[in-house]
Amino acid sequence: MADPKNNDFLDDLAAMEAEDLAAEQAELEPEAIELDSLRAERDEYKDRYMRALADAENARKRSDRARREAEQYGGSKLARDMLPVYDNLKRALETITDEQKQASAALIEGIELTMREVVNVFGKHGIEVIAPEIGDRFDPQFHEAMFEAPLPGTRAGDIIQVSAEGFMLHDRLLRPAQVGVSSTPASS
């Protein structure tokens, strides 16, 4: 049979161990709470840091895109203002007669050189001429219809006259080509 004194000793020992454990837990609980609080604070700072990094990267990408657009399209107003100069030089060259070529060869050569230089400068800055031909299909993305008229031998939507060439600045329309369009109804 078991000794009752021994059982009391064991009970007392278990009670002391329970008290010691409870005391240790009481001491550890504030430390654990503080540690959990510090971990949460650390996680919050880490999240803020990652968001700040992402925001900085997005701002860098936006500024790079804005810089590229400014480089490519910043001169669009000047380019638009230069288009009438191109138009006038082209009209001048188209109206020169053979008689005038003989009488004023140096002047005409100067106009031709000026026109070539304007075209070279346009090309250097990404300005391309949109030169539709008679018979091409009207495309509202690149052409502006100045008038519609029925013209026998054409289909509705065919270009029947080119009033002015259009221009693209890189991938943007600077000025649409001004054209006349056939309104001839389809034959039945």
115-139 pLDDT, tens digit per residue, is: 999 999 999 999 999 999 999 999 9
Alpha helix (H) residue ranges in 74-173: 76-94, 98-103, 105-124
Task: Please enumerate in sequence order all residues whose Cβ is within 8 A of that of 163, keeping only pairs 6 or more positions apart, or say none.
Answer: 146, 178, 179, 180
Per domain, the residue ranges of the chain are 1-73, 75-125, 126-188
Q: Is the pTM of this model over 0.85?
A: no
Kindly indicate the confidence band of residue 188, based on its pLDDT and cuts at 50, 70 and 90.
very low
For 1-34, write each residue's pLDDT tens digit: 455 556 777 777 777 777 777 776 666 677 778 8
Question: In the prediction, which pLDDT does 4 show?
Answer: 55
Token pair listed for 143 = 């052409």
Better-scored residue on pLDDT, 180 or 15: 180
Q: Does domain 126-188 have CATH number 2.30.22.10?
A: yes
Task: Please enumerate in sequence order all residues whose Cβ is within 8 A of that of 87, keeping only pairs 6 or more positions apart, or say none.
Answer: 164, 165
| Separation CA 2–CA 5 (nearest Å) | 9
